[in-house]
Chain A
Amino acid sequence: MLKIEAQSWCDKSGWRDSGSLMLKLFFWLRYLCKRRIVFLSVAAVALSVSLLIVVASLFTGFIAAFERSAVDAIGDIILAAPSGVTFDKYPELVKRLEQTNIVEAATATLSCEGLLHVGKGNVRGVTVWGIEPGPRARVTKLKDALIRQKQMPGEPSFEVPGMPGKVGGFVGIGMVADPNERTDEYDQKAALESMVGQQVLVTTGTMSQFLDGAGEPKRVLVPFSISDIVFTGVYQLDESLVYVPIKTLQEALYPDEKGSPATSVNIRLRPSVDPEMAVVQIRGLWRVFAEEELGWTTYLTGATRIQTAQEMQHQYVVEIRKQMGVLLLVFGVISFSVVVLVFCIFYMIVRLKRKDVAIMKSCGASSAAVAWIFLGFGITVGIMGAGLGAVLGYLITVNINTIEGWIRATFGLKLWQSSVYMFARIPNVVDWEWALILVGLSIAAAATGALMPAALAARTRPVEVLRYE
């Protein structure tokens, strides 16, 4: 049948016009419908592409979430004094920063390490941040993280509900509650009900300096009542961060100082400002401020860290990207076997269709035209497989949390835990850049697999194939 049809086409279309696209399309569709084994190669390409897209998307999603969590917690840029040093007059610095055309908002932080006593036998190491909640909410996503106050109008505050005048503070949810073992989720409502208003105690310390420069650690107690609970979705932050009023911490740590000591300033940039350029500008402003207002030496001014939030995470992001590269390489090498699969299938088709090819050539089709039929078919298989794989990869990635929940419910296996992987939810955004690259590579791989069979078909000699024995 195929020979008669091919003959008919030769007569009608004329093989003189050997680049006939219609004929190629005809043969591609024909082979696709008649040689069902071709669907195997489509399936193999789809499987490989979907796996690689899922891996790439999960990793890039994790990296993006990692960087975003830093920005949400500390702002776009952080200006931090050298370790163990505080700087004074931060309101003036904040005012100067906000007067520039690159800074949208700035706020100071006084930070130290401490021990938090929450309840009976519950003592843990914490990082204490003295902040001004209103300005901080303008620089970071603090308000979104506060369980009680996130839906309330206005700026967040340390006021303890029903306890006016009490010193309030925020604690991370990981310090006052444990996540459900099965679902890895916190009962936020229960945590709020049991902990808001509770009196807790932070112990920390400073170094009281002697005249000879030696220091004696001085312990300091900061009692406060819990006014809200923080849930950022980042395990390490929720397990170890305590927020108290900056003035309370200043009075506790530096009671003799009249100024306003802080250890860092968090900065939010205006939209579309380049963070790298902003760092340079802020560094200039800081240099002037440190020398004029604080009387700092050039060394101390230079030792002040001014970094973007991404720069701070750079070392870890590099490592995560490296692991992503290795995993993609591993699965990419395995996906190379798809090339072998396509080669085998096309080789088989070419061997079976030798007579068809011989007829085509005897009607005037050039070797290049014949080769293009099979190469084009290979590319078509690659496009179909890659398209299907992209759709599958998209569906798996976008629904990864649902799939993880289903695995947990069905097999009792909790694959993702925030205490291990940092975030409460698996990042589920498809990286379309990587998806396009992988789709392109898979089409190229399918074309590569079809190359040799296409060359073989082109070398067919009609006189040898068609002679009657």
Chain B
Amino acid sequence: MYKLTLIIRYLLKRRITHFAILAVALCVFIVVVVMTIMTGLVEDFKQKNHRFVGDCVVGTDSLVGFPYYEEFMGILKGTNFVEAVSPAVKSYGLLSVRGDNVRRGVEILGIDPVLHARTTDFAQTLHYRAGQPDKAFLPIYDPNALGCVLGIDLALMRSAQGSYVYDDTPMEVAITLTCFPLTAKGAPAKVGAGLVETQHFYYSDHAHTGIAHVDGSCVYIPLEQAQKLCMAGTLQRVNAMHIKLCPDVGLNLGRAKVAALWQEFKRTKADTQDGYLLDAVLVQDWKEYRRAYIAPMEKEQVLLSLMFILVGITTVFIVFVVFYMIVSHKRKDIGVLKSVGTSNISIVALFSGFAFVIGCLGSGVGALAAWLFLSRINWVEGQLFEKFGFQLWDRSIYAIGDIPNHVEFHVLATIVGCAIVSCLIGALFPAYSAARLRPVETLHAGPV
């Protein structure tokens, strides 16, 4: 009880402790704001990638692809842990727009839109045919034409606010795609006869995945057209099969089961025509499959967290100094306490408790301020942009929407915990010094 009394007394009487609370609050505020935004951006990016590829991918990086995918799809559909499967052809092509002398390299994604919509959120990314994947490749202005879906940044310009201007119907634009069809051995097909395949399409819709490099370079076309443009040979091939697992199946378990099925399937096809192409196929969950894109962002998060360790060190210093001062001024009080029987442990506990209270108060104030700031951050950014033309992230360059402002409990708990631990560490030495004080030295009267 006396500990609590003393803690409250020191808190109210020693105004220097308010500086320690202020410093802790400031550090917690900054770290909560920055880590919330960073964590939000990383999580948002991860989820977009998850929605783009589905739960699991059976695929190869080679542009040659692999055959016998329909058989394996049949096997997967017969299981009780796979909800949907979508085959896909992935390659590179040259896109040119009729009437325009501009050509650019693009990534081609050949899909069955209905199957792909069951596996990924393809249908939700469409604009004119949103929710209607069966009509994705049917232009509104001419349903008989062979349509293609462009990444949104290929079709439209993004404004500084991150918005696009949509027409009521898609513009009637003829597009030509040129590719190198590759044989099963990876050599260009049609040697001596042009070496390339060209196909005309009509712009039917655009897809907005929120992933910058996909929206800026991806062209979706029907699977059969992609196989004709990019794959030559007697057996139909694809580069990947996107899989959606049943909701009650865990990601790791689902991936392991698919991998086991694939190993068995590969073994049965080992001696068949082009069966060797199955050797380069990997079974990966969405995190592994998109690792090259997700890892850099996670690494930045780690880097920032490491830099904020320095913040913790500053907090430790401040708490140390404040407690050092308090102990210096309260030598007689401590002497009195010890002379009436208080143990060294109790003295340490007293100051540690005091540090804990400072940590809790400072973290509380900092967390509250951070929550208030984050809840208004998008409004603040909007106001800054309107009045001063300043925008933290230019939306025409960065593929983000609103600044993430949802404070994750685990992030907050970690930061508050670290702040309290920093305070305890800072108070450790002064508390130990206080415990070592000898009453006879602190209480003796001065010379007459």
Q: Is the CB of B94 within 8 A of A40?
A: no
Q: Is the CB of A48 within 8 A of B314?
A: yes
User: In the bound complex, how far is the Cα of B104 from the Cα of A43, in angstroms?
Assistant: 55
User: In the bound complex, how far is the Cα of B293 from the Cα of A419, in angstroms?
Assistant: 10
User: In the bound complex, how far is the Cα of B435 from the Cα of A447, in angstroms?
Assistant: 34
Which stretch of B186-194, B250-258, B350-358, B407-415 is in the interface? B186-194
B175 to A, closest residue via Cβ: A217
User: In the bound complex, how far is the Cα of B63 from the Cα of A326, in angstroms?
Assistant: 42
Q: Which of A113, A204, A336 contacts B26 (CB 8 A)?
A: A336
* A123-B16 contact in complex given A205-B94, A206-B101, C-beta closer than 8 Å: no
B106 to A, closest residue via Cβ: A125
User: In the bound complex, how far is the Cα of B352 from the Cα of A111, in angstroms?
Assistant: 70
Q: Is the CB of B64 within 8 A of A203?
A: no
User: In the bound complex, how far is the Cα of B176 from the Cα of A343, in angstroms?
Assistant: 70
* A348-B96 contact in complex given A40-B317, A123-B180, A126-B105, C-beta closer than 8 Å: no
* A340-B19 contact in complex given A115-B179, A219-B194, A330-B34, C-beta closer than 8 Å: yes
User: In the bound complex, how far is the Cα of B99 from the Cα of A207, in angstroms?
Assistant: 8
| B325 at interface, CB cutoff 8 A | yes
Q: Is the CB of A84 within 8 A of B178?
A: no
B398 to A, closest residue via Cβ: A319
Q: Across the interface, which residues of A come within 8 angstroms of B313, CB to CB? A: 47
* Closest-CB distance, A410 to chain B (whole angstroms): 14
| A157 at interface, CB cutoff 8 A | no
Q: Which of B303, B317, B398 contacts A415 (CB 8 A)?
A: B303
User: In the bound complex, how far is the Cα of B102 from the Cα of A112, in angstroms?
Assistant: 8
Q: Is the CB of A121 within 8 A of B62?
A: yes
Q: Across the interface, which residues of A come within 8 angstroms of B307, CB to CB? A: 51, 331
* Closest-CB distance, B444 to chain A (whole angstroms): 16
Q: Across the interface, which residues of A come within 8 angstroms of B321, CB to CB? A: 37, 40-41, 341, 344-345, 348
Q: Is the CB of B198 within 8 A of A219?
A: yes
A48 to B, closest residue via Cβ: B314
Q: Is the CB of A83 within 8 A of B102?
A: yes
| B397 at interface, CB cutoff 8 A | yes
Which B87-126 residues have a C-beta within 8 angstroms of A? 91-94, 96, 98-107
The 0/1 profile, CB within 8 Å of B marked 1, for residues 124-135 of chain A is 111100000000
User: In the bound complex, how far is the Cα of B316 from the Cα of A337, in angstroms?
Assistant: 11
Which A317-355 residues have a C-beta within 8 angstroms of B? 318-319, 322, 326, 330-331, 333-338, 340-341, 343-345, 347-348, 351-352
* Closest-CB distance, B298 to chain A (whole angstroms): 11
| A201 at interface, CB cutoff 8 A | yes
User: In the bound complex, how far is the Cα of B178 from the Cα of A64, in angstroms?
Assistant: 38
Q: Across the interface, which residues of A come within 8 angstroms of B7, CB to CB? A: none
Q: Across the interface, which residues of B come within 8 angstroms of A219, CB to CB? A: 94, 178, 194, 196, 198
Q: Which of B64, B100, B105 contacts A113 (CB 8 A)?
A: B105
Q: Across the interface, which residues of B come within 8 angstroms of A123, CB to CB? A: 63, 91-92, 180, 182
User: In the bound complex, how far is the Cα of B302 from the Cα of A300, in angstroms?
Assistant: 51
Q: Is the CB of A217 within 8 A of B198?
A: yes
B324 to A, closest residue via Cβ: A37
| A316 at interface, CB cutoff 8 A | yes
Q: Across the interface, which residues of A come within 8 angstroms of B22, CB to CB? A: 340
A215 to B, closest residue via Cβ: B99
| A122 at interface, CB cutoff 8 A | yes
Q: What would be 8 A-B contacts, judged by CB atoms less than 8 Å apart? A: A113-B103, A119-B186, A120-B187, A123-B92, A124-B92, A207-B100, A348-B321, A415-B303
Additional A-B contacts beyond A337-B318, A341-B321 (19; CB < 8 A): A37-B324, A51-B307, A83-B101, A114-B94, A115-B179, A115-B180, A117-B188, A120-B187, A121-B186, A125-B105, A205-B178, A318-B394, A330-B34, A337-B23, A337-B314, A340-B23, A340-B318, A344-B19, A348-B321
